[in-house]
Structure 1
Amino acid sequence: MPLLSRFAGRRAAIVFILVTAVLDIVAMGIVIPVLPKLIEEFAGSNARAGVINGAFVALWAGMQFVASPIIGSLSDRYGRRPVLLLSTAGLAADYVLMALAPDLWWLAVGRILAGVTSASFSTVYAYMADITAPEDRARAYGLIGAAFSAGFVAGPLLGGVLGEISPRAPFWAAGTLSALAFLYGWLVLPESLPRERRMAFAWSRANPFGALRLLARDRELTGLAGVTFLLHFAHHIFSAIYVLYAGQRYGLSAWEVGMLLSFAGGLDAVMQGLLVGRVTARWGDRRTMVIGLVGGAIGIACMGLANSGWLFVLALVPNALWGLAMPTLQALMTRRVSEREQGQLQGATMSVSSVAGIASPLFFGAVYALSVGEGAAIPFIGTAFLIAAAVLLGGAFLGAATTRRAVSIAPAD
């Protein structure tokens, strides 16, 4: 039975959080096709832009590493609604700053602010955990993933169109959409965490290293955190070099890359919104997670090996299977902690993905820089994608080994 039908009394809350998520992700997706190109204008070369863009993504992730557990703990203490509202307001201000940025240093400041405000994405998952039962969370997280993907369908497409007009126009559009998300949330988004279920704020849990201790208290939770790291490490290749790689190897313009990213977002929306519930009902969360990781690895490897633009596009189809892995991985993790710790868990999980987001773009940016141009130290331009595929495949093996035992429901408070 569809999730919205099973929770008719909470349907409005689910719709509200999904719409807010779509608006935020559309705003983020708008700038994807143009930000690397804007960096290239300031940097002066494609190879140098790959390194700088990787550094910017790492900077964004570093701020998420610091801010995510703090924001997760604050949402456990004060509720989810104020955190989400502050995030969308901050994103609106950040996009305006980047629209006006005169050089790389101002863009760097913009990425710092974006990392802090985007850290509240963990609160979106905590919100959904508040209003759904543990056995329904894979489907619920699939809906969030589908909402994010829908945003990435519209965002890059709109960004590609606006980028043809001006490299600054997408940032103004993103700021406007984030402002609309704030207004929408202010008017209609209800609070999901009752006062009696809130937890006192403590820096011992809110600092990044304290938050990570939560993931170390259980063997299965630790293993799943490792899978989270590997998954995000592999997929940050898209934010680090995908746009530059597509332009350099296949000659794709900002408009064409926007179309391609929209296509990828559409595939992911179908995978997470329509298929994850059906697949988990048949195979369970564990097998579905492994299938998604293996499929994603095959797709990324095909991107690195594709010798034509069409094959590069077709590789997005198997790669879309990774959309099965994310919601099931998160659902498995939520079953290992109590209901009062969901915000802390999401903050800790975001910190893990942020560590991957720091290391991965720097690594893939460097690999890409060494594999382009005459006399490249690495002779094959698709090497970074092959490495990412191997990392994702390693995550599949770790996930299968870690979750061999049956997953139990978290203990009561």
Structure 2
Amino acid sequence: MSTTRVAPAPVTAPPRASILKQPRAVWAVAFACVIAFMGIGLVDPILKPIAEELQASPSQVSLLFTSYMAVMGVAMLITGVVSTRIGAKRTLGLGLALIVVFAALAGSSDTVGGIVGFRAGWGLGNALFIATALATIVASASGSVAQSIILFEAALGVGIAAGPIIGGQLGEISWRAPFYGVAVLMLIAFVATAVFLPKTPPAPRRTSLIDPFRALRYPGLLTVAITALFYNVGFFALLGFAPFPLNMTASQVGWIFCGWGVLLAFTSVVVAPWLQRRFGTVPVIAAALFGFALDLAAMAIFTEHRPVLVVGIIVAGAFLGVNNTLITEAVMGAAPVERPVASSAYSFVRFSGGAVAPWAAGKLAEHVNVHAPFWMGTAGVLVAVATILAGRRFLVGAHAPAPGSTAEAEAIAVGDAD
């Protein structure tokens, strides 16, 4: 008696959710992120006009970045404390409101010192908003954590790309206009977040100020944070100093940094995930950082050649986009702590590099030469490369190719051959 065997149905993976199919609340927060990240590139085109009109040196004007980043870094330590007590929605609203107020005040100031001080308040608002926004998108978005991070990085890229354009075009009217522009846009983002984001209750467990420091005891998180600290030396040396040797109009500088931001957004969303699947997270981060270091070195050598600077700035966006996405994803799994705590600890360390670099770049240009700021950035990024490679053993699984990737298949084949 024969029996007919029925072949089991093939197991198929569930269809992957589209990154574009998100709740309205996620899009509202993502829109607010775009506006918030405009603040990073917004002041680039108007650094030189501010210096000329207010009779300030490059190092004095670069303090607009320093005060902003320094306060944002320190404030990252309290974002978890605030959000777990009043809820994510109120924390986002508070951050947006502070940005509206201090951006408007910066535009109304008549001294560099006043603008620097108001940028510090702006940094406080940005810290409350950005740290909470990433956690909110990850918690509310449909799809995987990796997709949520890509969405966040896309918002970052669009904001960074749009910031210089708005800053450059409005800067042709007055250096004050970009600050007022951000205040208006942030007010729109505040309304969108208030309307579309559901009420979020306080977290069941309240975090303390000591939690981020405790999180840094984990070698994986500390490795990623120190890598980002030195990488930001190069990042903000480029942002804070490059407009001066370019010696172009606010609108022209805005278009150059727009190209930089567009390339950053594209590589964040499209190129970084593909490279990660093929080669693994840590190898791609190291390669992207090394490419950025070479780019900065080329700008250091040819600082007085404007075409090289223009190309170098735009190309840097490609390396920065890849690195931003993958290093943010690495942070999310670098320590067995809550994501907001990990984000606070990481941001506190990395923004230290962003705070020091613009001011140091200006001082080096004034007391050494115009090449020195880019050499400083090159050295900082090379230290970042060495750090991520030295600590890769602490990032469990991050250095391995993604499951099903070409690189993983090649690794299995080599293992079988042995």
Deviations 1:107-165 (A, max 9, x none): 122122112111121222222333469x9444432332221221222221122111111
Displacement after TM superposition at 1:27 (Å): 5.1
What SS does the corresponding residue of 2:221 show, helix, strand or coil? helix
Deviations 1:84-126 (A, max 9, x none): 1111111111111011112223212212211211112122222
Question: In 2, are the aligned partners of 1:79 and 1:198 still within 8 Å (CA)?
Answer: no
What SS does the corresponding residue of 2:280 show, helix, strand or coil? helix
Deviations 1:192-221 (A, max 9, x none): x776x642143433xxxxx23311x22222
Equivalent position to 1:296, from 292, 309, 318: 292
Question: In 2, are the aligned partners of 1:332 and 1:407 still within 8 Å (CA)?
Answer: no
Displacement after TM superposition at 1:190 (Å): 3.6
- Which range moved further: 258-267 or 344-353? 344-353
Q: Does 1:236 align with 2:245?
A: no
Q: Does 1:383 align with 2:345?
A: no
C-alpha distance in structure 2 between counterparts of 1:143 and 1:303, whole Å = 31
Displacement after TM superposition at 1:227 (Å): 0.3
Q: What is the match of residue 375 of structure 1?
A: none
Displacement after TM superposition at 1:55 (Å): 3.0
**Structure 1 unmatched ranges of 5 or more:** 206-210, 371-377
AA partner of residue 37 (structure 2)? I
Q: What is the match of residue 208 of structure 1?
A: none
C-alpha distance in structure 1 between counterparts of 2:359 and 2:68, whole Å = 12
What SS does the corresponding residue of 2:99 show, helix, strand or coil? helix
**Structure 2 unmatched ranges of 5 or more:** 1-13, 399-418
Q: Does 1:266 align with 2:252?
A: no
Displacement after TM superposition at 1:285 (Å): 1.5
Q: What is the match of residue 27 of structure 2?
A: 15
Q: What is the match of residue 340 of structure 2?
A: 343
- Which range moved further: 86-95 or 20-29? 20-29
C-alpha distance in structure 1 between counterparts of 2:352 and 2:83, whole Å = 21
AA partner of residue 185 (structure 1)? T
What SS does the corresponding residue of 1:18 show, helix, strand or coil? helix
Q: What is the match of residue 414 of structure 2?
A: none
C-alpha distance in structure 1 between counterparts of 2:263 and 2:20, whole Å = 26
Structure with larger Rg: 2
C-alpha distance in structure 1 between counterparts of 2:289 and 2:295, whole Å = 10
Deviations 1:280-330 (A, max 9, x none): 111121122112211211222222223522222222354221221122112
Equivalent position to 2:42, from 30, 34, 39: 30
C-alpha distance in structure 2 between counterparts of 1:139 and 1:39, whole Å = 41
C-alpha distance in structure 1 between counterparts of 2:198 and 2:284, whole Å = 32
C-alpha distance in structure 2 between counterparts of 1:145 and 1:278, whole Å = 15
| Alignment RMSD (CA, Å) | 2.6
Equivalent position to 2:159, from 151, 156, 179: 151
- Aligned length in residues: 382
Q: Does 1:280 align with 2:288?
A: no
Q: Does 1:61 align with 2:69?
A: yes
Higher helix residue share: 1
Runs of 4+, deviation exceeding 6 Å: none
Question: In 2, are the aligned partners of 1:293 and 1:396 still within 8 Å (CA)?
Answer: yes
AA partner of residue 348 (structure 1)? A
Question: In 1, are the aligned partners of 2:301 and 2:371 still within 8 Å (CA)?
Answer: yes
What SS does the corresponding residue of 2:334 show, helix, strand or coil? coil
